[in-house]
Structure 1
Amino acid sequence: MTEQFYDLRRALDELKELPGQYHETDLEVDPNAELSGVYRYIGAGGTVQRPTNEGPAMMFNNVKGYPGSRVLIGLLASRKRVGALLHQDWKTLGRFWSQSVEHPIAPVVVTREQAPAQEVVHLATDEGFDIRKILAAPTNTEQDAGPYITMGVVYGSNPEQTKHDATIHRMVLEDEDTIGVFIQPGGRHIGAFLGEFEELDQPMPVTINIGLDPVIPLGVTFEAPTTPLGYDELGVAGAMRGEAVQLVDGITIPEKGIARAEWIIEAEILPKTYMQEDVNTNTGHAMPEFPGYNGTANPHVNVMKVKAITHRQDNPIVQTTIGPSEEHVSMAGISTEASILNMVDKAIPGNVLNVYNPPAGGGKYMTIMQIKKHVPSDEGIQRQAAILAFGAFKELKTVILVSEDVDIFDWNDVMWSINTRFQGDRDIMVLDQMRNHPLDPSESPAYDPGKIAFQGMSSKTVLDGTIPFALKEHFERAEFMPVSDWQKYLR
């Protein structure tokens, strides 16, 4: 019997067994704005413009202009679906992530014959080569700077090949062999490696890997301090799945790709070379970002030159996402929960029971922390936990603290806590003039000229809705009879 490894196709086979979690259509769809426009209604969720829903992952089998290629969207746009794909309780994914970081399984290298991602090869030197005609990369809106790769995992190394990084960036197809990639300064280890190549005045080889076992895009979203420079996040994905991620040597570059991907793009990032992100549209927009607003086109994104495209023989799948969707919350939010739990468990063990980064914050801006005060001297420890959370993740803007009897995944329960266990004049903490994420439009000097010196500065807010330990008898919830077989009344 042939050994079965995990990849996107195996994950989809499992997903198809779960009612309401997967849908495919043979109706033709235009990848230019229409595909995302359709899915916006069906299952995007998150901070996408309403109306939207939490719905199934969706496969489009008939993509206009790309016969034989399919586009998958929304695979991770449901926390419950993520839990099912990983065979884990969806309410404790943050702890599962944290454990996986502590016990990584390093990737392994296989031969080209063992790598379905290299079954078909297109070389940039081939006559008529044009990535825009090969890869069915959609646009989210009609104002986008161009077709974007939104779920491509970039894999790269330092010049000595001793340190590696896997991460996700927004990447726009600019012409037949050029990709514009936005590498946030100081935000990703790929940027540090690129700096080393630029000191040598050499291009940096990278692969862009598309259509992956879901543990890979989920596992590579960690940032420092949880995963320091040189930590290969593919080891987190390996730990999540319990089997090593398989890599394969590139065909045209000295870098590795993910062997069981649907697509691998082999490319080089040119040293100290930049271009206007929306050079083809001049709309001023890049694509919609996780806060729900259109991202501003960057005037100088890094330039990638494509060397080759490889993919599977049988109807390869392009995986994509809507920028502000629930999918972003799954990728960015759960890893942030894990980073926070990792830090608070070491500093104040036993007091933070669970953490949730809800869709309202796009997975990055907001955290809800479930706190247990064991003894009178624990009073105030909840606010210490909030400070630790800000230290673990600089892009966090708002922390809501609740007691252990509150379901942090139920927004009504959280707001009930704020309305009945909170007084605005004593239970709000504001920490101003701190660094945050530059995509928040309220973080601009025009919004608050007195305190915001430059884009990306923000006030951090803590809403303390925990029960004061000395008054806990005044805040006991009405206790109902426990009934173990209540579901029989619904039959």
Structure 2
Amino acid sequence: MKKNNTKYSKIDSLLPKINDLRSSIKCIENDPNQYIETDHPINPIQELARVYRHIGAGGTVSRPTKIGPAMIFKNIKGFPNARILVGLMASRERIGKILGVTSNTLGIHLAQARENIIPPVLTKTKKIPCQEIIYDAKNNYFDLRKILPTITNTNKDAGPYLCLGLILTNNHLKPKQTDVSIHRLCIQSKDELSIFFAPGRHIEIFRKQAEKQGKSLAVSINIGLDPAIYIGAQFEAPTTPFGFNELSIAGGLRNKPIELANCIFIKQKAIAKAEIVIEGEILPNIRISEDNNSKTGKAMPEFLGYMGKANPSLPVIKVKGITTRQNPILQTLIGPGEEHVNLSGIPTEASIYLKCKDSIPGLVKNVYAHSSGGGKLLAILQISKRNSNDDGMARQAALIALAVYRELKNIILIDEDIDLFDTNDVLWAMQTRYSGDIDTIFIPGITGHILDPSQSPMYNNKIQKKGTTTKTIFDCTVPYNLKKEFIRTKFKKINPNPWLKHK
């Protein structure tokens, strides 16, 4: 992958002038379809999630829900100086505006940033924005439950969760290896958080290496960020190999490096323009039940729309301190919502597009990680066949996608005349360009995603281990030699606006 060392370029002049969360909001604040604020009192315990479900959660949230504007709640019960932002990344159109591209090219744009990375740098400014206010955990009055207005979604949640805490840490054995990623963080006490790691996450490997030596792992938890940072951080291996710093991709998206700052209470870096930074250490050989306080047996609503089960034994983060900006914005999301879809899905699209472009140039035109799969389980690949050999190459592209992103479960292949972002159009292709007995490829016994309830021995007795599934390719493309028989009705192009104007 290429590294971009250019300090200034034509690209930079086209980008929105964004370098943190607040400038991201400024980019959309005058559009009521994209952003609204409210002073109406809201309780962060269950009520906020219930309200935003109707306004803009979308995703796999149980209906009724929809994709709507991002919201800042400015009157939080119990937190007179706090603000909560939800839904900033819950719309592809909104993300496109913030990143300066169209919504349909987000995956391709992110792929280009991966190819033109710019590493982060230590900020030279003396006044660090994220350290305007400092809370020392040694203070007797310290209680992160009273400092941060964290939310719960339902009455079964294990506790308040930090849902957009970007963890930054280093490999204990090789400090130059850095990783940033988002993990499920449940507040367990005034200065402790539990952390859940999905299998194979790089920070979990860092943690285990430190634990073997009986040492803690210093982490900064960064909240309230430029969406370029959050989205760039969600790449996974093999697109971003072990030890790769995903902040370099955010640098590529902004065409300038992300600025870091030294933490105050631990030996670690933090994102200098974050709204909130929690500094702490993952303790060695200490475990806690996720529902230690609630005893509900549940965690929180997960990305596929079901309540997750509480993990009985999770590592513990001991909080050493909190730093914030003046009047900080706590940024969060609704677990199964469209915001999670985009965070996971757009990097998935970029990863698949990149590998297909390298392996079979010109065949795959675009990729969409569909909302119904939470941005992880279902991908639609738009194929442009150039000759009869591409009938087989289209299916090869699907195999490449499965290799690049192991959590994928189903892939739908469509032609270039189908709008991959229009589900009705995709299903039309399935009805008229697909026959189940010849256009379905099953690949059984493959590792998938443990949070899919159908991927378990209880659902399918042929499965021996949870998180194993049969992966399926649905080839809804027309055979190249039959393309002339599958031409869609063409209408003359016309501007309809004169008929839409009313006196």
Q: TM-score range by the shorter chain?
A: over 0.9
Of residues 26, 47, 51, the one that matches 1:13 is: 26
Q: Distance in 2 between matches of 1:420 and 1:222?
A: 35
Q: Secondary structure at the match of 1:418?
A: helix
Q: Deviations over 1:17-57 (max 9, x none)?
A: 33411011111111011001100000000000100011000
Q: Distance in 2 between matches of 1:434 and 1:227?
A: 22
**AA matched with 1:178:** E
**AA matched with 1:45:** G
Q: Distance in 2 between matches of 1:423 and 1:386?
A: 17
Matches within 5 A, 1:327-346: 327-346=339-358
Paired position in structure 1 for 2:179: 165
Paired position in structure 2 for 1:471: 482
Deviation (angstroms), 1:111: 5.0
Paired position in structure 1 for 2:496: 486
Of residues 186, 193, 196, the one that matches 1:179 is: 193
**AA matched with 1:329:** V
Q: Deviations over 1:90-137 (max 9, x none)?
A: 101111111111111111112573311100000010121111110111
Q: Secondary structure at the match of 1:277?
A: coil
Q: Deviations over 1:179-210 (max 9, x none)?
A: 00002231x21112112211221100000000
- The answer to whether structure 1 residue 434 and structure 2 residue 446 are counterparts is yes
Q: Distance in 2 between matches of 1:76 and 1:369?
A: 23
Matches within 5 A, 1:8-407: 8-111=21-124, 113-159=126-172, 160-186=174-200, 188-313=201-326, 315-407=327-419
Q: Secondary structure at the match of 2:261?
A: strand
Note if contact 1:112-1:248 (Cα within 8 Å) is conserved in structure 2: no
Note if contact 1:183-1:302 (Cα within 8 Å) is conserved in structure 2: no
Q: Deviations over 1:237-294 (max 9, x none)?
A: 1111122111100101000111100000000000122110000011111110110001
Note if contact 2:90-2:337 (Cα within 8 Å) is conserved in structure 1: yes
**AA matched with 2:493:** P
- The answer for unaligned runs of 5 or more in structure 1 is none
Q: Distance in 1 between matches of 2:286 and 2:113?
A: 37
Paired position in structure 1 for 2:469: 458
Q: Distance in 2 between matches of 1:487 and 1:231?
A: 50
Note if contact 2:18-2:226 (Cα within 8 Å) is conserved in structure 1: no
What is the number of residues matched between the two proteins?
Answer: 484
Note if contact 2:18-2:24 (Cα within 8 Å) is conserved in structure 1: no
**AA matched with 1:164:** T
Q: Distance in 1 between matches of 2:407 and 2:448?
A: 4
Q: Secondary structure at the match of 1:379?
A: helix
Deviates more, 1:9-18 or 1:32-41: 9-18
Aligned-CA RMSD value: 1.1
Q: Percent identity?
A: 47
- The answer for unaligned runs of 5 or more in structure 2 is 1-16
Q: Distance in 1 between matches of 2:295 and 2:126?
A: 44
Paired position in structure 2 for 1:408: 420
Deviation (angstroms), 1:447: 1.1
Deviation (angstroms), 1:487: 2.7
**AA matched with 1:360:** S
**AA matched with 1:486:** P
Q: Deviations over 1:64-87 (max 9, x none)?
A: 111101000000001111101111
Q: Distance in 1 between matches of 2:142 and 2:124?
A: 26
Q: Distance in 1 between matches of 2:347 and 2:288?
A: 31
Q: Distance in 2 between matches of 1:101 and 1:376?
A: 32
4+ aligned runs moved over 3 Å, structure 1: none
Question: What TM-score comes out, normalization by structure 1 length?
Answer: 0.97
**AA matched with 1:175:** S
Q: Distance in 2 between matches of 1:343 and 1:5?
A: 29
**AA matched with 1:426:** I
Q: Deviations over 1:133-176 (max 9, x none)?
A: 10111011111000000001000001242110110001000001
Q: Distance in 2 between matches of 1:398 and 1:182?
A: 26
Q: Distance in 2 between matches of 1:405 and 1:87?
A: 26
Q: Distance in 2 between matches of 1:112 and 1:283?
A: 47
Q: Distance in 2 between matches of 1:447 and 1:59?
A: 41
Note if contact 2:288-2:315 (Cα within 8 Å) is conserved in structure 1: yes
Note if contact 1:58-1:74 (Cα within 8 Å) is conserved in structure 2: yes
Q: Distance in 2 between matches of 1:165 and 1:102?
A: 18
Q: Deviations over 1:330-352 (max 9, x none)?
A: 10000001111111111111111
Question: What TM-score comes out, normalization by structure 2 length?
Answer: 0.95
